[in-house]
Structure 1
Amino acid sequence: MAGDAIAAVEYVFRQEKGRVLAGLMRRFGDLGLAEDVLQEACRKALELWPQAGIPDNPAAWLSAVARNAGLDHVRRAGRSVGDAEAQLSCLTAAVMEETQPIDDDRLRLLFICCHPALAPEAQVALALRTLCGLSTGEVARAFGVAETALSQRLLRAKRKIAAARIPFELPAEQELQPRLVQVLHVIYLVFSEGYCASGGDSLLRPDLCAEALRLGRLLDSLQPGQPEVRGLLALMLLQASRGAARLSPEGQLLTLEEQDRSLWHGELIAEGLALLEQAMAVRTPGPYQLQAAIAALHAKAPTASETDWRQISALYGALLRHKPEPLILLNAVIACAMAHGAEHGLAWLKRLETVPSLANSHYLHAARADLLRRQGDRPGALAAYAQAALLAVNAVERQYLLRRHGEMRLPLV
């Protein structure tokens, strides 16, 4: 029973942390306090649930216990319970009186995390930690920093929110657009962590993908017709459509070439393509629309061999003008190689070895291994697959690279 209780608390914390925490933030207006009382509620659950049984609604139980702990904190701080309840009533009334077209605590919390008073790297880390239930260690791995350094970054961000008295509300219309870029960035990072986890034993985190899609839909309802919002939503839908085909029945990673395309989710593809068409009709292409257009070409290809790699390569060229980032450059090189031959890609990969963030990345070595394999260079591919597997942090990706390495070692028939 104790094991069941621990598993239930961990599950609720993963699945419901963002919603519960956002509700506590609305009630108390203090992110640090909200996190503290939620942690206290989790500790009580671990004490009580093994004996009393798991509640029918664990998230509501945690929320109620955390709320009571918050009221106790207010009392100890020198206020009466009546004062605290009056404050909560005022906060709730203020929320109900807002004229925004949506009412979602998690979207408000996302905009707080992306407030310009916070450093950009702190914004992303805080959103992943608070909204998505990632541990400090998981967020640290995603950023490639020490866990202690990430803890300090998060602590400074929470203190900044309290000191600046950032209100728990959606920004006014004139403030919304400047903050939208970072909000979109954070939502896509959440999705990306769910689509391909930065570490651990699982490749997929469906809960994070679902949360990112939900936030994307909410943001689209807040900014209807905004092309980059729709572009991001289209991109996530098109990528999510491949979820069921990305792993074999044995749990092995399957590339686009290996996937059974009949398992791709047709409704998600149709919705993504429709949103992309609406976004592109505005004729202000941005990075998310371009990435969605690339995903759309993959989605439309009946087979891997019929993929329009020349068009994909051209789209990557346009994308690089918006986002000249190392991983996008690496993907552009791969697309160029698929369109014009492996030798073109290998020449570019040699130049990318000087980029620090790629030199020690398994993605670069995996790309080289794949292109060498296509060229028939077995010794070179073997060495590259081995190096990529050594650098891979996610266990499923590492097993894929080792599988490819093993296949290359088999004698030619």
Structure 2
Amino acid sequence: MNESLLRELVPAVIGVLVRRGASFAAAEDAVQDALVEAVRGRPGDSCPSSWFGSSGGGPIRDPKGWLVTVAWRKFLDAARADTSRRRREELVEAEPMPDGGEAVDDTLQLYLLCAHPSLTPASAVALTLRAVGGLTTRQIAQAYLVPEATMAQRISRAKRTVSGVRFDQPGDVATVLRVLYLVFNEGYSGDVDLAAEAIRLTRQLAARANHEETAGLLALMLLHHARRPARTGPDGRLVPLAEQDRSLWNTRLITEGVEVLQTALARDRLGEFQAQAAIAALHADARTAEETDWVQIVEWYDELVRLTDSPVARLNRAVAVGEADGPRAGLAALAGLDPSLPRHAAVAAYLHEREGDPVTAALLYARAARSAPNIPERDHLTRQAARLNAQLRG
């Protein structure tokens, strides 16, 4: 059973049910029930296993049509006590089902609905993974390391929040991109690789939305994901970018990411994701850390700061300035930033060490370790502090 193909069909099938009159929440529940039935391949039904390329063989007949039919029946079963919906069942079932179901593609509208501004970022992420990604509540809960009941409540609240939103209202693609970026940054946990899932969903969105920043985000994801095999050592330790084995980087993803980025930049409508992708592309282009074009990276950070005025972008720019113009210049760029910024202490420690001040650097590495956002980063910073302290004692 090719579950990825099933999940690709989810938003289109939800869209069909919504246009037939189902509420978003009811349609999403019905499609999830249909997916369960498809995966189980229940006896007595028109078992879809051969349609999705299982070992049973046979031609792919009409997986979308099957999902639409079963999901609609699931919806009607849930609403059978309602007289008006029972009348709608008679009307719809009297219509012949066209090959492949309705041809209208509601995927983009579904993205916009799931990333509605009325939702919190966490709820928008969960609803997108469920309704557009086709993941189960259990899979999403495992990925975010929370109990399944907690995630189910989060998704239910999100569905209630958007229940009154008209399905044909225009939405903000930029909000959708923010949600997908949040998914990507969660990386990997449980049995779902959220980074890969975010790339899959962003590819899907890019195919439907002629939007430079969608291409920019896709390029950024591909370029970052290409470095993933080198980010940790065999013992699970974090490997900084400068120390990574670049032969482990995925050149196919790098090539694709650069091509996607170049196409987007050629349209001369620069956005923050394109700027971030350009920085990632310059890192990917360097055969060694020493060959990195830090001067051009600083220029791209200047563009990113101009576009966003983000403190995080300014923090990263300070690192690039330190590499391009020396650690003293980097510390000067860092001086105007809020010390409470995440990773501020780690950046200051690195620049102080390069400036030849191991005492201050060791103290800052230890401080950064105490506020690290995850265990691998905490362990890395702790080792950095211990290394400098050992040198000072020696």
Shift in alpha-carbon separation, 1:310–1:219, aligned structure 2, 3 A:
same
Residue of structure 2 in register with 1:296 after alignment: 281
Q: 1:374 maps to what in 2?
A: 354
Offset at 1:209? Answer: 2.0
Q: C-alpha distance in 2, partners of 1:407/1:19? A: 52
C-alpha change, 1:369 and 1:137, in structure 2 (3 Å) is farther
1:124, distance to aligned residue in structure 2 (A) = 5.0
Pick closer, same or farther for the CA change 1:308–1:287 going to 2, 3 Å.
same
Letter in 2 for 1:401: L
Q: Which residue is 1:53 aligned to?
A: none
Query: Which segment is superposed worse, 63-72 or 236-245?
Result: 63-72
SS of corresponding position for 1:411: helix
SS at match of 2:25: helix
Aligned position for 1:212 = 198
Choose from 385, 388, 403 the match for 2:368: 388
Q: Which amino acid aligns with 2:201?
A: L
Matched position secondary structure for 1:351: coil
C-alpha change, 1:341 and 1:152, in structure 2 (3 Å) is farther
- Give how far 1:370 is off: 1.9
Question: Matches of 1:374 and 1:88 in 2, distance apart?
Answer: 72
Give SS of 1:293's match.
helix
CA contact (8 A) 1:245 1:263 kept: yes
8 Å CA contact 1:21, 1:38 repeated in 2 = no
Q: Distance in 2 between matches of 1:20 and 1:222?
A: 15
Structure 1 letter corresponding to 2:165: A
2:224 alignment partner in structure 1: 239
Q: Deviations over 1:82-120 (max 9, x none)?
A: 85485589798696232xxxx5x765532221346x357
Q: Secondary structure at the match of 2:391?
A: coil
In structure 2, distance between residues paired with 1:163 and 1:140: 30
Aligned mates of 1:271, 1:43 — CA distance in 2 = 34
- TM-score, with length taken from structure 2: 0.73
Corresponding residue number in structure 1 for 2:77:
72
Paired residue for 1:9?
none
Which residue matches 1:325?
310
Which structure 1 segments of 5+ residues have no match? 1-11, 45-55, 142-146
Report Cα offsets for 1:257-292 as digits up to 9, x if no partner: 111001111111111122222222222222122111
1:188 match: secondary structure: helix
Matched-pair contact (CA < 8 Å) for 2:31–2:71: yes
Structural mapping, 1:76-155, within 5 Å: 76-77=81-82, 83-84=88-89, 96-98=102-104, 103=105, 107-115=108-116, 118=118, 121=121, 123=124, 126-127=127-128, 131=132, 135=140
Structure 2 vs 1, CA of residues 255 and 270 (structure 1 numbering), >3 Å: closer, same or farther?
same
Which residue identity lines up with residue 394 of structure 1 in the other structure? N
C-alpha separation in 1, matches of 2:261 and 2:246 = 21
Residue type at the aligned position of 2:180: I
SS at 1:223's partner residue?
coil
What percent identity do the matched residue pairs reach?
38
Contact 2:230 2:245 in 1 (8 A): yes
Q: How many residues align?
A: 363
2:295: which partner in 1? 310
Structure with more helix by fraction: 1
Partner of 1:411: 391
> 2:60 maps to which residue?
none
Distance apart, 1:180 and its partner CA: 2.1
Residues 252 and 400 of structure 1 are in contact (CA less than 8 Å); yes or no, is this contact kept in structure 2? Answer: yes
1:235 shift after superposition:
1.6
Partner Cα separation in structure 2 for residue 330 and residue 316 of structure 1: 10
Gaps of 5+ in 2: 38-48, 53-62
What is the CA-CA distance between 1:238 and the residue it aligns to?
1.2
> Which one has more relative contact order, counting CA pairs under 8 Å at least 6 apart?
1
Compare CA radii of gyration and give the structure with the larger one. Answer: 2
Matching residue's letter, 2:213:
E
Asked if the contact 2:111/2:128 (under 8 Å) is kept, the reply is yes
Q: 2:242 maps to which residue?
A: 257
CA distance in 2, matches of 1:283, 1:235: 17
Kept in 2: contact 1:21–1:34 (CA 8 A): no
CA distance in structure 2 between the aligned counterparts of 1:343 and 1:383, rounded to whole angstroms: 18
Alpha-carbon separation, structure 2, partners of 1:408 and 1:90: 75
| Equivalent pair of 1:313/1:335 in contact (CA under 8 Å) | yes
Is contact 1:245-1:260 (8 Å) kept?
A: yes
Would you say the 8 A contact 1:19–1:106 is kept in 2? Answer: no
Provide the C-alpha distance between the structure 2 equivalents of 1:95 and 1:68, rounded to a whole number of angstroms. Answer: 14
Query: Counterpart amino acid of 2:181?
Result: Y
Q: Would you say the 8 A contact 1:17–1:130 is kept in 2? A: no
Equivalent position amino acid for 2:200 in 1: R
RMSD: 4.5
TM (norm. structure 1) is 0.70
Q: 2 CA distance for matches of 1:90 and 1:405?
A: 71
Q: Do 1:37 and 1:66's aligned partners in 2 also have CA atoms closer than 8 Å?
A: yes
* Aligned: 1:179 with 2:172: yes
Which range moves more in the overlay, 284-293 or 157-166?
157-166
Which range is displaced more, 380-389 or 322-331?
A: 380-389
Q: What's 1:158 paired with?
A: 159
Closer/same/farther in 2, CA of residues 269 and 80 from structure 1, 3 Å limit:
closer
Displacement after TM superposition at 1:373 (Å): 2.6
Q: Match of 1:193?
A: 186
